[in-house]
A and B are shown apart, each in its own frame.
Chain A
Amino acid sequence: MAQDSPQQREAERLIEQALDLSPAEREALLDQHCAGSPELRRQVEQALLAHDRSEEYLNNLRQDLGITHPDETLELVGQVIDNYRLQRLLGEGGMGAVYLAERTEPYQQLVALKLLSSGRWLRRWHERFLRERQMLASLKHPHICRLLDGGVNETGVPYLVMEWIDGEPIDVYCAKRELDPAAIIQLFLKLTSAVAYAHGQGIIHRDLKPANVLVAEGDDLQVVDFGIARMLDEGTTPDTADPITGQGAQPLTLAYASPEQLRGEKASVASEVYALGVLLYHLISGRLPFDVSGQSPAGIERLVSDTEPPKLSRAAAPEYRSHEIQPDLDAVVARMIHGDLDQRFRTVEDAAADLQNVLAHRPVSARSPTLWYRVSRFVRRHRFPVAAGTVAALSLTAAAILGLSLAVAAREQARLLAEERDRAQAATGFLVDLFASLNPNTNPLDTTARDLLEQGAQRIEGIDSPALQREMLDTVSGVYRILREFPTARDLLEQELTLAANLDDPVISADVLARLAGTQLAMGEYDDALDSVDQSLALLGEREAGEIRAGALLVRGQTLHRRGETALARATYESALPLARRFPGKDEEQLSILQSEMANLANHVGEEEEAVVLFEEVLARRILRHGEYSSPVSSTLLGLAQTRRSQGAITEAIELLERANQINQHLFGPDNDRHAFVFNSLGRAYESYGDFEASEQYYREALRLVRLFRGPEHPNVGFGLGNVAKILSKQEQWADAASFFEQAVAITEANRPDHIAVHDMRWNWGKALMKSGALAEAEEPIIKGLNSLAANYGDQHPSTRGALEAAVELYSKLGEQESADRYQQRLSAIQQN
């Protein structure tokens, strides 16, 4: 950039001058100086445009990188405002910067001085500001930070002086000390007492969030900035139309703003209940109920109004999920952040009282069944028109098409969540009512939901009406099945079956039998499961009852498949498919389960491409219906991963498995029997990948979980042992491998004597014995396994071939050359084919 000519120098001068000016002022400057020289004007304008663009670009880049730095705050440290010397910057927020300041007169004291951002304020508001300040100074509560002083600095910027709390934001405080949920609630109750007190004085905080709740060592909690937001808000009354900020009544911290605030309503006691609920949710789970980052207020409003937040226990760490207060606290928090005002706690005191109940293990009002009935009815009645109204308002804009489909998806999700919740709540409510009607002398307040379930189950026998008795058994056994306590569920279903037999309706009996079969299948009692399902189908006979028949056929196919009878299983599934497709309305999940099982089977018999098609159809349907973070989606991912693995796409398989594992850990916490399946799959994937150590770890962990949750004799324990044995063999740890194979064969044989795995593991057991030097003991398992394989699958089968090789090696080692040659001949015969 040479600066030779006078015109260039003039241009440079103008550019530098113009840079500090507003667009209008720039115009004026150029009008004045470039009157007779369009060339000069063009030059300057281009340079200015280029500069604005590059500055804007750098600013955007900085923001995208998350680097922020307010320019003016640095320079104020060291300055004196009235009697206060600013010592250092404590923090910064939307309304201004907070400094640690030292009071010099009349006595020394450290205080927090909040300097409100200039520009938001005009002198005409000062009077009002001072009046409000007087009122705030009257707030006296052990957990409210006192307002000490306030004024206006020489440039006209108002400031407030507060007690200085040498504490941390409550979220940081809780996280650092890893407080458990009960301790967090104890601390949180100090906050609610402060907020409730202020509400009693007619003062609303309006900006409740972690940064405004400071906690010093020893759980000393102080709420800061009480009512300051409101003072600002009052300063911008609607009729002044807020000429300064254009922000008006907009909430200050969007993540903590209630749906009604987002819709433009004023802050209220109810919106404070909401903010407190979000805060508690955040403290317990470390997350916010809604991910609002990067969204516009309108987008957040849609999200918050149309979606149910995930249950606290879904967002929280595993330790919380196993905490005894979890269900009750979930319910209380859900009511605090309910989008519907009628369903939210009306006051902070109400919410606090229920939190006290949680701590004292008393039933919480948030879970009261009568209330829930009312609530769910209300939601059903009102949700659709509300959302439809929103959509209609949006449809005028070009974005409406996108907005519409998003709103519809969100609404569907909300409906499903509500439905799921209603069902669980209705079942619980039923038990509560049941219990109350059975024993009016007991105070239900002394009982936990779990006790209720157990006592309810015990008391069913005392009911006079067999029909009612059966319905109750139905409910209770269903709850136990959901809890995966299959033996209890089975016992109850068997009782129910006896009752159903007296009702003279074979369809009911068939239904109960099908569910009994499903429970027996889950327990690994395959023979019993087949008996039950066959009885069920026999009872159905020629009757229509498509749904029940489809369910029964599904269980039958599953059982057959688990027993290794793949051809029969496939035929059974295929007969169920048209039925399941015909009844998608009530439970399209049944169709998904059926197709998943068909895919598993296809996978099992080597038809991977068909399996992929089936799994992908199921995956798409389930994501649409349940969302990514749901167990149906994770199990579909598992199936797809298995298929991909057998197609040889190992890396893709591991990715799918990790995605599924992430969902499961998120949903169920660390110790859950569902993980066994994922771990097995990961074990297999890493085995294919060649990382045997990782593989062994996963297999062992899967085995531990299966033993823990299914019992030591469950068929899956046999397979789990076999997996560990196999991976030990690959690492040539032969003695250990032999011991695992031995146990695996014993358990699997007891359950499924004809399963190919029994024969396969048997000769492998022998091979491991042989490799570890126990030649004499090796002979029987190798030959027995080999003979069973050869008889059932022929010499061509890879397993048989492996067994033949083991036999050759064994007899060579034993020095029985004749036998070795005999098996070698069979091997050679295979190779010639």
Chain B
Amino acid sequence: MDSSSDITGLLAAAEAGDPAASSELFEAVYAKLRQLAKRERRKWSGHHTLDTTALIHEAYLKLAKTAGYSGKAHFFGTAAKAMRHVLVNYARARMAQRRGGGAEHVDADTVSLPAGAPIEELLAMDEALNRLEQENPRACRVVECRFFAGLDIAATAQTLGISTASVKRDWRLGAAQLYASLQPSGD
């Protein structure tokens, strides 16, 4: 399930409210992002940044081109979540490698984080986001859009279909909670 036309069909179905399509869409976008990130890494080996916005945008354009799909907003929400998983899986694989256990080479091969990147913090953030999701799912979405997909307040509002005021509030709340749970006290 990774061809562009499949994804586009899923996008339409997901936007129409089909929950099964949503989860399949996630898998498909996830695969596409990994593929793009991998290519990006090969292309820019030596560069240590991963322009997630550009990746997500390119993934979107590839899909939009094939089927004229225009549900950009919904796509970004899914893509932000998928990007989070790409990075977190990569961090997990790296941790496993570091501990000498069986590593997920597929993921380690997919994206590159800079040497010395705080992957433990990324993993802690992932856990904190899971907790946030339990208490306040919308705030979790907002943080994903802003942190992983690099959307600004307005784009996040558009993507999630909520007001900019809500985005600001959720962002403030979410950021504060992440900071509190990630930052060692006394600083």
Contacts and interface: CB of A to CB of B under 8 A. Distances in A.
Interface of A: 1, 15-16, 19, 50-51, 53-55, 57-58, 61-62, 64-75, 77, 88-89, 92, 168, 172, 286, 293
Nearest to B124: A61
Nearest to A57: B179
B61 A88 contact: yes
A57 B182 contact: yes
A64 B53 contact: no
A19 B153 CA distance: 12
A16 B165 contact: yes
B152 interface: yes
6 tightest CB-CB pairs across the interface, nearest first? A69-B150, A69-B53, A54-B179, A54-B175, A66-B114, A71-B152
Contact of B48 (A61, A66, A74): A66
Nearest to B152: A71
Given A50-B176, A58-B175, A58-B179, A65 B117 contact: yes
Contacts of B152: 71-72
A792 B105 CA distance: 55
A73 B53 contact: yes
Contacts of A68: 49-53, 150
Given A19-B172, A61-B182, 10 more contacts: A54-B175, A54-B179, A64-B114, A65-B87, A66-B49, A68-B50, A68-B51, A69-B52, A71-B150, A172-B43
Contacts of B66: none
Contacts of B122: 61, 65
B176 A64 contact: no
Nearest to B55: A69
A75 B76 CA distance: 13
A57 B50 contact: no
B180 to A, nearest CB: 8
Q: Is the interface of B mostly helix, strand, loop or mixed?
A: helix
B52 A89 contact: no
A2 B119 CA distance: 35
A19 B147 contact: no
B178 interface: yes
Contacts of A72: 152
Given A54-B175, A57-B183, A64-B117, A70 B53 contact: yes
7 contacts: A58-B178, A64-B114, A68-B50, A68-B150, A69-B52, A69-B53, A69-B54
Given A16-B169, A74-B155, A89-B57, A69 B179 contact: no
A56 to B, nearest CB: 9
A228 B67 CA distance: 38
A560 to B, nearest CB: 44
Contact of A66 (B43, B54, B113, B173): B113
Given A53-B179, A67-B87, A61 B53 contact: no
Q: Kindly state the interface size class of chain B when it binds its partner.
A: 35 or more
A55 B149 CA distance: 15
Interface in B137-175: 147-152, 155, 165, 168-169, 172-173, 175
Contacts of B125: 61
B118 interface: yes
B133 interface: no
Contacts of A61: 118, 121-122, 125, 182
Contacts of B50: 66-68
A55 B169 contact: no
A65 B61 contact: no
B168 A65 contact: no
A69 B176 contact: no
A265 B112 CA distance: 36
Contact of B114 (A53, A65, A286): A65
B117 to A, nearest CB: 5
A74 B53 contact: yes
Interface in B23-80: 43-44, 46, 48-54, 57-58, 61
Contacts of A70: 51, 53, 150
B183 A58 contact: no
B52 A19 contact: no
A67 B148 contact: yes
Contact of B175 (A51, A64, A65, A172): A51
Nearest to A288: B46
Could you say which of A67, A70, A73, A77 has the most chain B C-beta atoms within 10 Å of its C-beta?
Answer: A67
Contacts of A1: 173
Contacts of B151: 71, 74
A16 B53 contact: no
A6 B43 CA distance: 56
Nearest to B173: A1
Contacts of A54: 175-176, 178-180
A178 to B, nearest CB: 13
A188 to B, nearest CB: 19
Nearest to B121: A61
Contact of B149 (A53, A69, A73): A69
Contact of A67 (B52, B58, B165, B168): B52
B176 A51 contact: yes
A11 to B, nearest CB: 13
A323 B49 CA distance: 33
A65 B87 CA distance: 9
A583 B155 CA distance: 73
Interface in B85-140: 87, 112-114, 117-119, 121-122, 125
A15 B155 CA distance: 21
A75 B155 contact: yes
A92 B87 contact: no
Contacts of B118: 61, 64-65
Contacts of B180: 54
Nearest to A286: B46
A89 B57 CA distance: 9
A77 to B, nearest CB: 8
A16 B53 CA distance: 26
B168 A16 contact: yes
A168 B118 CA distance: 32
A735 B146 CA distance: 68
Contacts of B175: 51, 54-55, 57-58
Contacts of A69: 51-54, 149-150
A54 B173 CA distance: 10
A761 B172 CA distance: 76
B57 to A, nearest CB: 6
Nearest to A78: B72
Contacts of A53: 179
Nearest to B183: A57
A172 B147 CA distance: 29
A18 B178 CA distance: 21
A664 B178 CA distance: 46
Contacts of A15: 172
A48 to B, nearest CB: 10
Contacts of A57: 175, 178-179, 182-183
A69 B146 CA distance: 10
A55 B117 CA distance: 19
Contacts of A19: 168, 172
A165 to B, nearest CB: 16
Nearest to A282: B46
B16 to A, nearest CB: 24
A345 B63 CA distance: 50
Contacts of A73: 53
B96 to A, nearest CB: 18
